[in-house]
Amino acid sequence: MRFTKMTSREFNQDTGRAKRAAMSGPVMITDRGQARHVLLNIEAYWQLSGTRRNIVELLALKTTDDLDLTIPPRTDLPRTPDLD
């Protein structure tokens, strides 16, 4: 994992570079030499926070390489009605 360091001024002047850098690892943003913020891509945030993705987010994924989807068997299906 690559870690990028940017000053607040660099971040304000080139947010596109910060977003591209965040795709390969965290971006630390400093203010007067002190680390103040960290920019992460959404996958890294979900992994760190333990947040589960909803179906809309899963359907919007461009790839399924990192998708862990386990569908449990249905045991609560209704019985077929007896119409005789």
Domain presence at residue 76: no
68 assigned to some structural domain: no
pLDDT for position 28: 95
Is residue 65, in this structure, part of any structural domain at all?
A: no
Alpha-carbon distance values, 73 to 7, 31, 52, 79 (Å) = 51, 52, 20, 16
User: What is the predicted pLDDT for the residue at 17?
Assistant: 95
In eight-state DSSP terms, residue 24 is: T
Q: What is the pLDDT of residue 66?
A: 62
For residue 84, being part of any structural domain is answered with no
- Residue 28 vs residue 74, higher pLDDT: 28
Distances in whole angstroms, Cα of residue 44 to Cα of each of 26, 39, 52, 73: 8, 10, 12, 30
Give the structural domain span for 34: 4-52
**Based on the structure, what is the number of domains in the chain?**
1
**Residue 72 belongs to some domain of the structure:** no
Across all residues in the chain, what is the average pLDDT?
Answer: 84
Tell me the C-alpha distance between 79 and 59, whole Å.
Answer: 31
pLDDT at 62 over 70: no
For the cut 70, the answer to whether the pLDDT of residue 67 exceeds it is no
**61 in any annotated domain:** no
Q: What single letter denotes the amino acid at residue 46?
A: W
Under the banding of pLDDT at 50, 70 and 90, the label for residue 63 is: low
Residue 26 within any structural domain of the chain: yes
pLDDT-based confidence at residue 9 (cuts at 50, 70, 90): very high
- The CATH number given to whatever domain includes residue 25 is 3.40.1620.10
